[in-house]
Amino acid sequence: MSKYEFSIAYAGDTRRDDHSISVDTLAPALLAFGRMMREANAQLNGKKSKAQVSVVSDFEHKCFNINFEVALTFLESIKTLIDSENAKSAKDILEWLGILVGSGVGLFQLLKLLRGKKIKDAIQLIDQSKHGNIIVQIDGERNNVTVNQNVLLLAENPKVLRAIRDAFIPVGREGFDRMEVRDKEKVVTTIPYSDARDLVASCTANIDDVKEEEPDITSATAWLSVYSPVYDADAPSWRFKMGVETIYADIADTEIAANALTLGGALIDDLYLVELEIKTLIDEKGKEPSREYKIKKVLDFVRAKPRLEQADLFHVDGEKSDER
């Protein structure tokens, strides 16, 4: 397992004595850092490597500071395919993203240099270092930028670019005029509002230029209630209600069916708190995208109250009928 901790602070000169932030402003940015690391790790280490991004509590700072811990794990089956020399560590990925300062230009820095323009072309360099450096040509510019090939891979990933966009939502709102990145208590990167606008514009320009071929997969914690009971232990999907929406969810990775049969069957409104994988399928014709749902893990279960009291089916509110 590879771990690394870093901190993000949304700061502003007018906010020195106010260390609060709106939940509506913070939540998308917080989730974006998780998506950013997961997508970057999948791009560079493969989909069988998993990135877990956690928020680490710290009550000593007197500013609004978010401490992240990134942990990368590799499945046993692919350890022989990814040796220690080729596997990208959590610190490597943070440097290629540009969150931490590395030896070259990271993705954040490249997006700033693009200033809302597209990447026109990329030329592989044949260099003695064998670092896999690439010359990136900016559309409408004579200047070129040399980056590591992994930075270019991330720049061509629309999911990474969307996550970066969302990470900067707080900058320019509620008096926050910059983002600061801290590594071991030291500020290593400061991104002011003007640079953040360039980053966001570059993300948008290059997202539009990339054809997405893979479905968008996100994770969420959700309450699902049984819509119609299922008594077949081998049924791969159950019908649930998620808010006002009725969905079919794959339960193959869980013990939902087996546990329900142990209880004598499922009941309408049996309630499950789950880790839900949501796959949005790509639609090239512009139609509303379809979604597939898969329950990855059951976190909690609340048994529904039977709608009919089985011991007293023919009486109302427990009243006894007249004997004749």
**How buried is 41 (Cβ within 10 angstroms: 0-12 exposed, 13-18 middle, 19+ buried)?**
buried
Is 90 exceeded by the pLDDT of residue 237?
yes
Mean per-residue pLDDT over the chain, rounded: 82
> What tens digit of pLDDT does each residue of 96-139 get?
999 998 878 999 999 999 999 888 888 776 655 556 788 888 88
Is 50 exceeded by the pLDDT of residue 31?
yes
Characterize 289-300 residue by residue with b for buried, 16 or more Cβ atoms within 10 angstroms of its Cβ, and e for exposed. Answer: eeebbbbeebee
Question: In whole angstroms, what is the distance from residue 149 CA to residue 171 CA?
Answer: 29
Question: In whole angstroms, what is the distance from residue 256 CA to residue 267 CA?
Answer: 12
Q: Which domains does the chain have, with CATH numbers?
A: 2-117+149-207 (no CATH), 216-302 (2.40.50.960)
> Which pLDDT does position 220 carry in this prediction?
86
Query: What are the φ/ψ torsions at residue 113 (nearest 5 degrees)?
Result: -70, -30
Average pLDDT over residues 203-223: 80
pTM: 0.74
Share of the chain above pLDDT 70, in %: 81
Best mean pLDDT range from 49-58, 119-128, 262-271:
262-271
Give the residue, 261 or 287, on which the prediction is more confident.
Answer: 261
Which tokens sit at 204? 């948008």
**Angle of helix 107-114 versus helix 90-97 axis, rounded to 10:** 10
